[in-house]
Chains A and B, each alone.
Chain A
Amino acid sequence: MSEQFEQGVAVLRDQIDARISSYLTSCVHCGICAEACLFYTETNDPRYTPIHKVEPLKKLWQAENTFWGKLGKSLGLIKPLTESDFADWEQLVYDSCTLCGRCSMVCPVGNDITYMIRKIREGFSVAGYAPDGMKEATKRALTIGSPMGVTFKTVQAALAHVEKDTGLKIPIDRQNAEYMTLFSSMEIVNFPEYIESIAKIFDAAGVSWTISSQAFEATNSGIQIGNKEAAAELVGRVVKAAEGLGIKYVVSPECGHAYTAIRWEGPNLIGRPYDFEVVHILELLDKLKAEGRIKLEGKDDTPMTLHDPCQIVRRGGVVDPPRNLLHSVADHFTEMTDHGVMNWCCGGGGGVSANERAEELRLKSFDRKKHQLEELGVNTMVTACANCRIILEEGLEHHEMDTEVISLTELLAEHLVSGKTPN
């Protein structure tokens, strides 16, 4: 047994708190969680049943925390966890779970299975059983500052374009600004329109804001792979930059897991509350609109629907703002049957999109979204996560579907009444 594996098991043991103990005690093996998981519904493969994905964690808990487990272990009837358990489960733990949280909404005994999958990854990543794509992304995030290898130089180049196109000056490292915005590498590389939209909206609303040269990246590969130290380091950079600049609010961008990372997990990772607050861009836009600081004009009469990014809505609690905002610019906004906190995932969250090995399964699981769209018959899907956007676009292309995916923030910027509103 390698030392690294033993460390992984020790970390796994450390994850077993009262929540996990109550979950494993309560689970009646009813299998209902399977019906909520797109990896099961689209494949009918029972191995993709959410609770089955935490089997190694259950095995450890049983052997060390239950009467029968302890008895079996002392009689040599129960084998301890082995490396092959980790090797066999690696794909289930990483490839077939986007940490979307849907299973946790349906379990009759109330188990937060997603929490357990998030936690089992801690042990797996320490033991070295994690997909290469995610390991590399985490390494790049730690050494370069972004999982996609984006440096501040690249950001500056993107900002220069934005400044040229908008005629606005993007504030960098502005001391005591009210808001500090973060971006995901995908926005910088694939969707610079998002940055442009933010610049226009903030200008119109008279928002005092800045971007930090030290911490522009919002994504957190440490959370996805399940490496507490890496996750804490990445959150720590943002905290240091924001507190150094005397910022009041850090704005999490249109990216799902970035929000979970900085808003909900961050303070627990660094072991203290922040000196600032975290808002999601949609919460901020909704607030600015409610305060009359941004004015929108014209309504789209294209039929539109909303794809809820799991980490922002179901796991993040930003449920109403995207709806309020979309209603204000879309005349024909229709919800999919399962929406809001019961939406179906795009299939690429939780690091799955960074895991090339999972591509085939991911595209298969996209059948669920395809079905939802076909049922609704709407060809424009609005969302608020750069990762969802890329995954949705790939899925649509794969299925040769004629559906457009647009960003909510960008859509709002298009409807912005230009010119500053006095505040």
Chain B
Amino acid sequence: MIGEFIDGPLWYFSLTAFVIGVVWRIVSIVRAGVRPDLSIARGSAGRGAMRTIFSRFVPERTVTTRSRLQLIAGYMFHVGLLILLFFAQPHIDFIAERITGLSWPAVPHWVFIVAAEFAFAGLILLWLHRVLNPVTRLLSDMDDHIGSILVFLVMLTGCLALAQSHEALRLIHLFLAEVFLIYFPFSKLMHAFTFVMSRGYTGATMGRKGVNA
């Protein structure tokens, strides 16, 4: 009964809340507007925006030397998570069946295991850094912790469900993923989309000035 609810209505509700919420937030950011820049541009804003959207995937030397651990953990977590999310067989099947109707090849099982280990290690390291480092401890708020814990729980139940092939575990995993989707638009998790905007805005301003940012 509860299983059917999680598998059916709640899934569609959470997906709808996620899509509407994300679109709503993006639209409200754009609607805040930017004042037109009347200074004469030295370079192209568009090219600057594109450049920064991609260039920030590669860190500056200052970051590679002074924040090495955080940087490595950050890559491990994000890359691991993306592989788990989009290239694990059950996810591909689920997406094909419930959303797009399209499927693509999954990664081999061993890649999945490595990705999961990376994602877990990365997330745990990032979280430890968050609570132990004086800077991140000062900056962090409830939202940061809720986001980390939710992602952790979703990943953990997902891996357990896959390892045990147990229906109850699959349902718990799906339920947590749904909670995650509903929470997403109200939180910092939004950075997964808005990073393109923040990098783009900065890149455009710097690009006009002729600075590669």
Contact = CB atoms under 8 A, between A and B. Distances in A.
Interface of A: 16-23, 25-32, 34-36, 40-41, 44, 46-47, 49, 51-52, 65-68, 102, 104-112, 115, 263-268, 271-273, 277, 314-317, 319, 337-338, 341-342
Interface in B19-63: 25, 28-35, 37-40, 42-43, 52-53, 56, 59-63
A18 B60 contact: no
Nearest to A67: B186
A273 to B, nearest CB: 5
A241 to B, nearest CB: 19
Contacts of A22: 29, 194, 197-198, 201
B164 interface: no
Contact of B38 (A107, A109, A272, A317): A272
A18 B31 contact: yes
A278 to B, nearest CB: 8
B67 interface: yes
B138 interface: yes
A109 B56 contact: yes
Most buried by A among B28, B31, B139, B188: B139
A311 to B, nearest CB: 11
Contact of B213 (A25, A105, A263, A271): A105
Given A18-B32, A26-B194, A109-B191, A267 B212 contact: no
Which of B52, B198, B203 is most buried by chain A, counting CB atoms within 10 A of its CB?
B198
> Chain B interface mostly helix, strand, loop or mixed?
helix
B62 A17 contact: no
Nearest to B140: A29
Nearest to A41: B66
Contacts of B28: 21, 65
Contacts of B136: 29-31
Contact of A110 (B32, B40, B203): B203
Contacts of B40: 267, 273, 277
Contact of A23 (B56, B190, B198, B206): B198
A17 B35 contact: yes
Contact of B60 (A19, A105, A337): A105
A338 B38 CA distance: 32
Interface string B200-213: 11110110011111
29 contacts: A17-B35, A20-B32, A22-B194, A22-B198, A23-B198, A25-B194, A28-B144, A29-B188, A31-B135, A32-B70, A46-B135, A46-B137, A49-B138, A67-B186, A68-B143, A102-B62, A105-B213, A106-B63, A107-B198, A110-B200, A110-B203, A111-B198, A112-B205, A267-B38, A268-B35, A272-B38, A273-B38, A316-B211, A341-B211
Nearest to A320: B210
Contacts of A21: 28-29, 32
Given A18-B34, A268-B38, A25 B205 contact: no
A26 B209 contact: no
The range of chain B's interface size is 35 or more
B144 A29 contact: yes
| Most chain A beta-carbon neighbours within 10 Å: one of B32, B35, B202, B213 | B202
A187 to B, nearest CB: 24
Contacts of B25: 25
B30 A18 contact: yes
Nearest to B65: A35
B141 interface: yes
Given A46-B135, A52-B138, A109-B191, A317 B33 contact: no
B188 A27 contact: yes
A272 B38 CA distance: 6
Contacts of A29: 130, 136, 139-141, 144, 188
B105 interface: no
B29 A25 contact: yes
A30 B209 CA distance: 27
User: Among the interface residues A21, A272, A319, which one has the most CB atoms of the partner chain B within 10 A?
Assistant: A21
B94 interface: no
B199 interface: yes
Given A26-B198, A112-B205, A342 B34 contact: no
B200 A108 contact: no
A35 B67 contact: yes
Interface string B166-178: 0000000000000
A263 B211 CA distance: 14
Contacts of A52: 138-139
B195 interface: yes
Contacts of A49: 135, 138-139
